[in-house]
Amino acid sequence: MSDLQTLQNAIKGDASSITALVEQYTPLVHKIVNKYAWMSPSHSKEDLVQEGLLGLVKAIETFEIDRGNKFITWVYPNVRIAVQKVARKETRQPKYPLSLEQSDWSGNLEDPVCFEVQEDYNKDFIHDLVMTGCGSLTSKRAQIVCDRYGLLGRPAMRQGDVARKYGLTKQATQSHLARFKKIVREKHPELEALIK
């Protein structure tokens, strides 16, 4: 039986033809698995080979001879996608936790005090800290930092609210805050645990 005849029978659902094609293309599946196995260290290569073989069977089921393409050009992406899909599931994390129990945050949503920064240091120290990180108390960065963290008698605000107050994007506000944190970390390494 020719390769074309085997392929046509496999597309129609003939089990022996499907088996013949799977045996023929199994080395390609192993090659693809070896290429992408690093993406999924917790899965064994056998698991990835099984997924690749499922991708091969899907390629057989969905191949259209009428288009005039070679079968290998349809097999390769189907097997690669099947292997990568399993490998990527392992590294994909949800952008936001699904519930408070899954998150690191264990505050009380009904208690507004938990959102405020507690000032355990005296006002002179906070004043010096803002001066160190921002250069002066009247700079835009100093205003943003004080509003965001509730320093020097200001109420703490969310980053989006601070951005709206100063007519900035959230990214620009984050840039000011990140620069402040970097400078403070460099000049006061003992505060590393407090500045995250």
- Amino acid at the residue 107: G
- Going by C-beta distance under 8 Å and a sequence separation of 6 or more, which residues neighbour residue 144? 162, 166, 168, 173, 176, 177
Contact in structure between 76 and 27 (CB atoms under 8 Å): no
Does one domain contain both 131 and 79? no
Does one domain contain both 135 and 174? yes
Q: Which pLDDT does position 196 carry in this prediction?
A: 54
Does one domain contain both 127 and 179? yes
Taking alpha carbons only, the member of 138, 140, 145, 139 closest to residue 166 is 140
Does one domain contain both 81 and 117? no
Does residue 169 sit within a domain? yes
Alpha carbons 178 and 134: distance in angstroms, whole number? 11
145: number of Cβ within 10 Å: 24
Beta strands in the chain (DSSP E): none
Share of the chain above pLDDT 70, in %: 78
Q: Could you give the number of structural domains in the chain?
A: 2
CATH of the domain at 46: 1.20.120.1810
Residue 120: is its pLDDT beyond 70?
Answer: no
Does one domain contain both 118 and 87? no
Q: Which pLDDT does position 27 carry in this prediction?
A: 92
Does one domain contain both 171 and 119? yes
Q: What Å distances lie between residue 75 and 6, 22, 27, CA to CA? A: 15, 11, 12
Does residue 196 sit within a domain? no
Reported pTM: 0.45
